[in-house]
Amino acid sequence: MNEEAARWINRYLDAYLIVTRRINAQIRDSIAAGLTNDQYLILRLINGQELCTSTYLAESFAVGKSSITAIINRLSEAGFIERTRDESDRRQVYLSMTELGRSTYEAAEKQVMEVVSPYFSHFDEKDIEKFIMMFERLGHLMQEPGGSKN
């Protein structure tokens, strides 16, 4: 790796740490109903999937299923999500939000938007779009083996 690439990586890591730590802290402090950031993100993923499974959540979070199961159990015990077995394959379990889960998620989503949106006011729309597109591209590359598209 050349020096320039090392500088870019270090700058990225420095900015990433500042942004994620501060945004996560602000989100944690603003989310109602005692949700953790991970619980909010789990609800967000469940909300975006018609048939959500714990396997999908574990892959999305890049963690083991046991870690996801612990969070799912807490969300279920709190009445935010429910499990439904597939009628044709009883081993398959789908996760969905209850009404309480949906209202809690929607309130948390609104609070997250209120925390994050003021930062975007410091940038032009085209810069925001370019940043988001590049960040999404980085995310897609990170999902590919070896970090490159074939």
**Which spans in 31-64 are helix H?**
37-47, 54-61
Give the pLDDT score at 124. Answer: 96
- Give the tens place of pLDDT for each residue, 10-62: 999 999 999 989 988 888 888 866 788 899 999 999 999 988 999 999 999 88
Give the pLDDT score at 142. Answer: 84
3-state SS assignment for residue 63: coil
- Give the tens place of pLDDT for each residue, 66-86: 999 999 999 999 999 999 998
Q: Which two tokens stand for residue 142?
A: 């990170």
- List the domains of the chain with CATH numbers: 31-145 (1.10.10.10)
Pick the closest to residue 98 from 75, 116, 115, 120 (CA basis): 75
Kind and range of the H or E element at 112? helix 99-120
Rg (C-alpha) for the chain, rounded Å, is 18
The residue with tokens 């402090």 is: 29
pTM: 0.81
b/e map of 2-20 (b: 16 or more CB within 10 Å)?
A: eeeeeeeeeeeeeeeeeee
Pick the closest to residue 77 from 125, 39, 47, 133 (CA basis): 39
